[in-house]
Amino acid sequence: MRKSVITFIGLIIGTSIYAQTENLSETPVLTEGFRFKQSQGDNSLELAMNPFNSGAVFEVPFGFGIRYRKFLSESTAFRLGADISFSNINIITQQADDNVGALELRSKLNSFGLTLRPGFEKHLLSSSRLSPYFGGELILKWDTSKEISQRQAGQNIEERILKNASVMDGFTFGIGGLAGVDFYIAKQLYLGLELNYGFTYFSSSDLTITDFDGSIDIYKQGSAFAFAPQAFSSFRIGYLF
């Protein structure tokens, strides 16, 4: 978290110094239609990156990797972050062998996740390249998984199914504030950094076990509530269109 705050403060200071320098210098005359920053009616798409993450560079908390903005005016915008993740893993645990009557058995793991982050931004008037902003957003996240293991019973295959066995399976709801800055490095192309803080509530999905004999057991897994940072060092690159 300390690295996130230091980096964020450093970017704010650096871009502020640039803005002051730019305002003191002679501003070139721009041709009609040329601009760096957003205006009313613009849209933008951006990708988030987390260079301080020990794992994947593009991994950001709550799966926020892609975001869309709709600028209602030069200083206000609606935003929507979205991410869909899924996996399908099949591992052969027993090879088929007709000589001993062995059937092929598999272990399967399927998972799916969906994250939506609608929000609103208020941009502050600054230089022609710098656009600091603040705002708020909701976090809606749903994850589910299914594990299947097989065993051989005579010449039949029986399955044991675990649904929502992962501790991450469930629904997350959050609400919080945010602050960030966009710096336009070229016409309609910007880099940014954002920090979020707020409340999150996580409710685990029930663990459902369907055993080899067909019996079904359901277990409650609880919930969690937190007030904590929601995104660490979320660097972004985006483009207006």
Interval 65-74: pLDDT, tens: 788 999 999 8
pLDDT band for position 150 (cuts 50, 70, 90): very high
pLDDT of residue 10: 53
Mean pLDDT of 189-212: 88
176 pLDDT higher than 70: yes
Rounded Cα distance between 1 and 5, Å, is 6
35 pLDDT higher than 80: no
pLDDT of residue 160: 94
Task: Report yes or no on whether pTM surpasses 0.85.
Answer: no
Task: State the Cα angle at 78 between 197 and 61, rounded to 5°.
Answer: 35
Task: Name residues whose C-beta falls within 8 Å of residue 224's C-beta, 6 or more positions apart in sequence.
Answer: 201, 202
Q: Which of 221 and 2 is assigned the larger pLDDT? A: 221
pLDDT of residue 9: 46
Q: How many domains in the chain?
A: 1
Q: Domain of 136?
A: 2-240
CA dihedral 70, 75, 76, 79 (to 10 degrees): 50
Q: 153-165, pLDDT tens digit by residue?
A: 888 999 999 999 8
**183-215 burial, b if ≥16 CB within 10 A, otherwise e?**
bbeeebebbbbbbbebebebebbebebeeeeee
* Backbone φ, ψ for residue 70 (5° rounding): -125, 115
Mean pLDDT of 16-22: 46
Mean pLDDT of 3-15: 49
Q: 48-58, pLDDT tens digit by residue?
A: 766 555 444 44
